[in-house]
Amino acid sequence: MSIDADRKAFERMVAAKQIIWPQILDGKSGDGEVAKLFNLRSTPLLYLIDRDGKIAAKSQSAETIKPTLAAAFK
């Protein structure tokens, strides 16, 4: 989920980082409904969702989520 208001900047970032998973553009600089629902105040903010649809981890860094992710695949 991006809270960027600039669609072109968002698309360039996704292409540059070669992000292959689904992305959502809020387009409202954090004032949109989805940003409010997830309490997004800054990016990046990563959510790891488990098989039951519950938040298994939440972090601003992929490095801190790696152990939780590794454990999920054991």
Q: What is the pLDDT of residues 6-65, one digit of tens each?
A: 899 989 988 998 988 888 887 887 788 877 887 777 777 788 888 899 888 888 787 888
**30, amino acid identity:** G
Distance between CA atoms of residues 37 and 66, nearest Å:
25
Instruction: Delimit the domains of the chain by residue range.
Output: 1-41, 44-74
Distance between CA atoms of residues 13 and 69, nearest Å:
24
Residue-level length of the chain: 74
Its pTM surpasses 0.85: no
Tokens 């972090």, located at residue: 59
- Beta strands, E only, 1-74: 46-49, 55-59
Distance between CA atoms of residues 14 and 9, nearest Å:
9
